[in-house]
């Protein structure tokens, strides 16, 4: 039995030598796991930072684009308001001439027709001489 105890103790000492001291091995394993965890956390932090930066850049680009679209839409709205005002003036002018025509005031109707022919169609009366300003002043 003594022989068996010696063999077992030799075998155990060999196992301890191969594996090392169990308390030291456990500490080394914990240290290695901590280093690996720090590395993983470091990689995770970098990935998270890159994702946040990409999100901020995306939002900034979208805001700038949206502001440009809003500015363009406002300019277009302003142009349409000006056009609407001009059309309302024209409608009032046409209503005035239509009212005059209803009263059988054919002179005002013929004046209107003449005005439209001169301004829009570049017509002139017979015997009239039209001068064209080529200087643009």
CA distance 42 to 49: 10
**Which among 111, 115, 131, 134 has a CA at the least distance from the CA of 123?**
115
Q: How many residues does the chain have?
A: 137
Domain ranges of the chain: 20-121
Give the mean pLDDT of the chain.
Answer: 76
What's the pTM?
Answer: 0.42
At 131, the pLDDT band (50, 70, 90 cuts) reads confident
pLDDT at 5: 53
pLDDT at 17: 46
Asked if residue 96 has pLDDT above 50, the reply is yes
């Amino acid at each position: 039995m003594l022989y068996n105890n010696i063999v077992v103790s030799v075998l155990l000492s060999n196992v301890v030598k191969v594996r090392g001291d169990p308390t030291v091995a456990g500490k080394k394993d914990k240290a290695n796991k901590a280093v690996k965890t720090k590395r993983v956390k470091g990689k995770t932090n970098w990935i998270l930072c890159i994702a946040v930066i990409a999100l901020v850049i995306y939002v900034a680009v979208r805001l700038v684009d949206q502001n440009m679209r809003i500015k363009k839409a406002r300019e277009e709205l302003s142009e349409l308001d000006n056009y609407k005002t001009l059309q309302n003036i024209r409608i009032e002018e046409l209503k005035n001439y239509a009212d005059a025509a209803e009263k059988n005031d054919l002179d005002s109707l013929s004046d209107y027709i003449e005005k439209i022919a001169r301004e829009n169609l570049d017509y002139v009366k017979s015997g009239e001489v039209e001068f064209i300003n080529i200087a643009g002043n």
